[in-house]
Structure 1
Amino acid sequence: MLCNTPWSLVDFVLFPINMTVVGCNHWILGEFNVKERFFKVYNSMRNRVMDKKVLKVVEAYSTLLPLFLSLNNFYESREDIDLNAQAFKGIDMCHPLDIVFDDEVPQQSNNDCGIFIIKFAESLMHGLIENIPNPLNVSFQRNKIAVELYVHAKRKKDEGYLSDGEFRGRMSKKMLNINAMEV
Structure 2
Amino acid sequence: MDGREDLMSKPFTDVDMIFIPVNLGGDHWVLAQADLRARRMRIYDSLVTFREEKTYLRKFKPLQVVFPQWLQDVGFYNIRPELQSADSWKVRIVKDVPQQEPGSSDCGVFMLMFTMYLMFGLKLDFDSSHGHYFRKKIAVDIFTGDIAL
TM-score between the two structures when normalised by the length of structure 1: 0.64
Alpha-carbon offset, residue 7 of structure 1: 2.2
Alpha-carbon offset, residue 67 of structure 1: 1.5
Structure 2 counterpart of 1:177: none
- Residue identity opposite 1:100 in structure 2: R
1:48-73 Cα deviation digits (max 9, x unpaired): 73545542332111101112223455
Aligned residues: 140
Of residues 38, 47, 51 in structure 2, which corresponds to 1:36? 38
Structure 2 counterpart of 1:60: 62
Aligned residues: CA RMSD: 2.7
Equivalent runs, 1:126-145 vs 2, <5 Å: 126-132=120-126, 134-145=127-138
Q: Are 2:11 and 1:6 equivalent residues in the alignment?
A: yes
Of residues 100, 117, 120 in structure 1, which corresponds to 2:92? 100
Give the gaps of 5 or more residues in structure 2. 1-6
Report the secondary structure of 1:108's partner residue: coil
Q: Are 2:108 and 1:77 equivalent residues in the alignment?
A: no
Highest relative contact order (Cα 8 Å, sep 6+), 1 or 2? Answer: 2
Cα 1:8–1:82 change in 2 (3 A) is: closer
- Residue identity opposite 1:2 in structure 2: M
Q: Are 2:125 and 1:119 equivalent residues in the alignment?
A: no
The structure with the largest strand share of the pair is 2
Give the gaps of 5 or more residues in structure 1. 154-162, 167-183
Report the secondary structure of 2:60's partner residue: helix
Greater CA deviation, 48-57 or 96-105?
48-57
TM-score between the two structures when normalised by the length of structure 2: 0.76
- Identical columns (%): 26
Alpha-carbon offset, residue 115 of structure 1: 0.8
Equivalent residues of 1:116, 1:136 under 8 A apart: no
Greater CA deviation, 30-39 or 64-73?
64-73
Cα 1:98–1:50 change in 2 (3 A) is: same
Alpha-carbon offset, residue 143 of structure 1: 1.3
Q: Provide the rounded CA distance (Å) in 1 between the counterparts of 2:112 and 2:52.
A: 20
Q: Are 2:142 and 1:149 equivalent residues in the alignment?
A: yes
1:81-103 Cα deviation digits (max 9, x unpaired): 366xxxx4xxx2xx641111112
Alpha-carbon offset, residue 47 of structure 1: 4.5
Instruction: Tell which structure's C-alpha radius of gyration is larger.
Output: 1
Structure 2 counterpart of 1:157: none
Cα 1:60–1:148 change in 2 (3 A) is: same
Q: Provide the rounded CA distance (Å) in 2 between the counterparts of 1:142 and 1:19.
A: 21
